Structure 1
Amino acid sequence: MVLSFAMKKLIIALGVLVLIYLAATLIVPPYIESQRNPVKSSPPYSVSSDAQALYERLDFISDLHCDALLWGRDLTQRGSRGQVDFPRMREANVALEMFTIVSKSPAGQNMQSNSSDAFDNITPLTIAKGESPSNWFSLINRTLSQSQNLADFIQDEDGNAIFVKNKADLNKLISARKNDESVIGGMLGIEGAHALEGDIENLNRVYEAGVRMIGLTHFFDNELGGSAHGQSQAGLTEFGKSVVQKMNELGIFVDLAHCSPAIVDDVLEMTTMPVMVSHTGVRAVLDSQRNLSDLQIQKIAENGGIIGIAFFDEAVGVPELPNIIASIKHVRDLVGIEYVALGSDYDGSVAVPFDITGFPLLVEGMMNAGFSEAEIKAIMGENVKRFFLTNLR
């Protein structure tokens, strides 16, 4: 068969386009991530000898929110960009990280108001990463793909990482770390239940994939109700109520981060499980619609929930480190030490003051603010351990 000159030109053109696309998958995602997830102060970090000694006495360190799965990095390898990966978790002696899945994010992504119809930033990133075309325009497929990525990363660790899906897995992690602190754990959450695409059957699919926490909204309103940054400020829809009920039945924690005040109230009125706020600030430190009011903090504590304090400026203000400490202190003073934890929002398209290896800076900051060793241990991870040991099934 002899190809015509026009056909040869077409084949060459298609080949060039494929090569350009493949090159883009190697160049574009790392560039976007480096721009979206800067670290204001680069490692290594140093603290006083007393702070370092206390840090080394911490038995269980945990963080409730990290979006590292979004960017396509191999988390088993130490990265030159971003804020979290398995090697850096080990360097910081972090026992458990909640890896959260972002499936859609609106262009502009501001704290005040976002339309659910706004251009989605994640679609071009998904294409640029070279993901399967089945993920390009499907939120649930993106979600299940990121879930599988975490499972694959953990499997590649040959027993040195544990996918925590239930209380038995957590006890296995705690036991393993008594003999080998290089063993780490990962849990799986979703940032924004728009990922369910309005189909409650998808809740079963993400549960089977290992998801144990779901934030009901992200930066825009969805089928479940209003976002703190959306246009309606509505409470739970009937679909939203059915999803919360089903989450309770399955044992998936409701994450109230980014939810409208009306959704916060609706969930706390109906949930049969303690809630989480995986990454937030408090209005007493930074008065933002993104953050929790004192009344909300009190209601969450009454529910037996847990509140993760975020690390970025739009949640805590600047300078970040003293404001992180002030936010933790406010929750402690208002409702008690047992309700507060770390919720960094690492790799969540935010600039942070330090990456995960900078956790000793938090210990030093709390020591300087007069926190006791027992309180510091609680905040750095014991509260999270107790919460999951009590409430995971």
Structure 2
Amino acid sequence: MKRKLLYGLLGLTLLTLAGFFILAPGMAERDMNRIDGKPLIEVSDEAKALHATLDIVDLHSDTLLWKRDVLEPADRGHVDLPRLRQGNVALQVFSSVTKTPRGQNYDSNGADSDNITLLAIGQLQPVRTWNSLLERSLWHATKLKRAADDSGGMLTRVTDPASLDAVLDARREEDQPTGALFSAEGLHSLEGDADNLDRLYGAGMRMAGLTHFFDNELAGSMHGIEKGGLTPMGRDVIRRMESMGMIVDIAHCSHQCVAEVLAMATRPVVSSHGGVQATCEVNRNLTDEEIRGVAATGGIIGVGYWEGAVCDTSPHAAARAMKHIRDLVGIEHVALGSDYDGAVTVRFDTSQLTQVTQALMDEGFSEDEIRAAMGGNALRVIGEGLVPR
């Protein structure tokens, strides 16, 4: 009797664990990556026709964080290859998220906790990723490479100007592949060793933000405790990135960090995802002075679609932020930065990017300006930034 009871308890425990590993990751993502279901704007035939001719670039998504096949249509989240194709996306930047603090907020976070460890275990990732931020980024690189290899040419990794040109050339033919560029949401994944940048570059990383929601060994975060500037390691890493052909991303940097990056940059700088203080007064968004600083480097500002970026989820809110950048420093510095699959709630997913095209038309953007904002500017900066020195 005792043995049967023991076996029964063991079986129940195994079933509970199996249910956790099978169901919990998907439940977590459904709760975090949401579409709010509010009415979409009506898209005109003119906007649809223009949208079909665009080379669209999104500077930031966190899709690699989650346990699902990016090649298959998903019933959760915001990005997968079928939806990228429906949205006519030419290039998607896939970011590697390796650590987030408990109780994450925009105001003040310490670096002494981590939500991603439980997610890595729950998603049954390789054991090496359970306690190593570097290995988590390398695992995300592996996931992206496998997806590209298995896509039949429909998802192509972009690592240099030639591979970027190849994607754009192929899109002029009947089949329209989507390019994939690998990035990082904070270089705490270096684990305190600048030489690990070579390992990330070797894995295909070509863009990186210095910080995420907490201060790290490179710089202060806008959401950290100290919110300081660049450390000596941070300055060293920026110089290395510019030399090897990796694009520097200031998203989530503190104001002091942003100022110091812009002061030392010798190549165009990117703010991959966020908004502007002028239309949405949230601390993570850029001031007019910072917008001018990014423009002075020849860089671009990717505008997102969620509440923290544009104070709404309407595509018109995103368009108004883009209009402010255009009016302040010129259309050549406007770009898209969705933060899709980044624990955000949005109005539309990547298959519905005609929403942005229509909103820009409604805000009075010309056809040439829409081409530039939806991807032309990003293609220019990325193409230049991938060239090693």
TM over 0.5: same fold? yes
Q: Could you tell which deviates more after superposition, 11-20 or 162-171?
A: 11-20
Unmatched segments (≥5 aa) in structure 2: none
**Where does residue 118 of structure 2 map in the other structure?**
124
Shift of 1:388: 2.0
Give per-residue Cα distances to partners, 1:181-234, cap 9 Å, x unaligned: 431110000001111111112111110010011110000000112100111111
SS at match of 2:302: strand
Shift of 1:109: 1.2
Distance in 1, Cα, partners of 2:103 & 2:192: 24
Q: Of residues 77, 96, 102 in structure 1, which corresponds to 2:97?
A: 102
**Equivalent position amino acid for 2:306 in 1:** F
Runs of 4+ in structure 1 deviating by more than 4 angstroms, as ranges, are 5-19, 42-46
- 8 Å contact from structure 1 (residues 45, 358) kept in 2: no
Q: Of residues 376, 380, 385 in structure 2, which corresponds to 1:391?
A: 385
Q: Of residues 301, 306, 309 in structure 1, which corresponds to 2:303?
A: 309
Distance in 2, Cα, partners of 1:171 & 1:261: 35
**Where does residue 202 of structure 1 map in the other structure?**
196
- 8 Å contact from structure 2 (residues 280, 309) kept in 1: yes
Identify if the C-alpha distance between structure 1 residues 319 and 94 changes in structure 2 by more than 3 Å, giving closer, same or farther.
closer
The reply on whether 1:231 has 2:201 as its aligned counterpart is no
- 8 Å contact from structure 2 (residues 305, 312) kept in 1: no
Distance in 1, Cα, partners of 2:70 & 2:238: 31
Give per-residue Cα distances to partners, 1:160-201, cap 9 Å, x unaligned: 221000001001101111113431110000001111111112
Distance in 2, Cα, partners of 1:253 & 1:18: 46
Q: Of residues 343, 351, 376 in structure 2, which corresponds to 1:357?
A: 351
Identify if the C-alpha distance between structure 1 residues 164 and 43 changes in structure 2 by more than 3 Å, giving closer, same or farther.
farther
Distance in 2, Cα, partners of 1:74 & 1:35: 18
**Equivalent position amino acid for 2:30 in 1:** S
Identify if the C-alpha distance between structure 1 residues 221 and 6 changes in structure 2 by more than 3 Å, giving closer, same or farther.
farther
SS at match of 2:364: coil
**Where does residue 149 of structure 1 map in the other structure?**
143
User: What is the root-mean-square deviation of aligned Cα atoms in Å?
Assistant: 1.9
Unmatched segments (≥5 aa) in structure 1: none
Equivalences, count: 387
**Where does residue 366 of structure 2 map in the other structure?**
372
Q: Of residues 26, 39, 51 in structure 2, which corresponds to 1:55?
A: 51
Distance in 1, Cα, partners of 2:198 & 2:216: 19
- 8 Å contact from structure 1 (residues 279, 309) kept in 2: yes
Q: Of residues 63, 70, 75 in structure 1, which corresponds to 2:70?
A: 75
**Equivalent position amino acid for 1:111 in 2:** Y
SS at match of 2:351: helix
Distance in 1, Cα, partners of 2:59 & 2:216: 23
Distance in 2, Cα, partners of 1:334 & 1:368: 19
Give per-residue Cα distances to partners, 1:135-155, cap 9 Å, x unaligned: 111111111101100000010
**Equivalent position amino acid for 1:71 in 2:** W
Q: Of residues 25, 36, 41 in structure 1, which corresponds to 2:21?
A: 25
**Equivalent position amino acid for 1:48 in 2:** S
Give per-residue Cα distances to partners, 1:20-59, cap 9 Å, x unaligned: 333322100100000000011389985122221221232x
Q: Of residues 32, 35, 57 in structure 2, which corresponds to 1:36?
A: 32
TM-score, normalised via structure 1 length: 0.94
Identify if the C-alpha distance between structure 1 residues 285 and 43 changes in structure 2 by more than 3 Å, giving closer, same or farther.
closer
Distance in 2, Cα, partners of 1:386 & 1:85: 25
Identify if the C-alpha distance between structure 1 residues 354 and 297 changes in structure 2 by more than 3 Å, giving closer, same or farther.
same
Identify if the C-alpha distance between structure 1 residues 9 and 241 changes in structure 2 by more than 3 Å, giving closer, same or farther.
farther
Give per-residue Cα distances to partners, 1:361-381, cap 9 Å, x unaligned: 111111111110110111111
Q: Could you tell which deviates more after superposition, 382-391 or 108-117?
A: 382-391
Q: Could you tell which deviates more after superposition, 226-235 or 176-185?
A: 176-185
Aligned-pair identity in percent equals 43
Q: Could you tell which deviates more after superposition, 8-17 or 38-47?
A: 8-17
**Equivalent position amino acid for 2:36 in 1:** K
TM-score, normalised via structure 2 length: 0.95
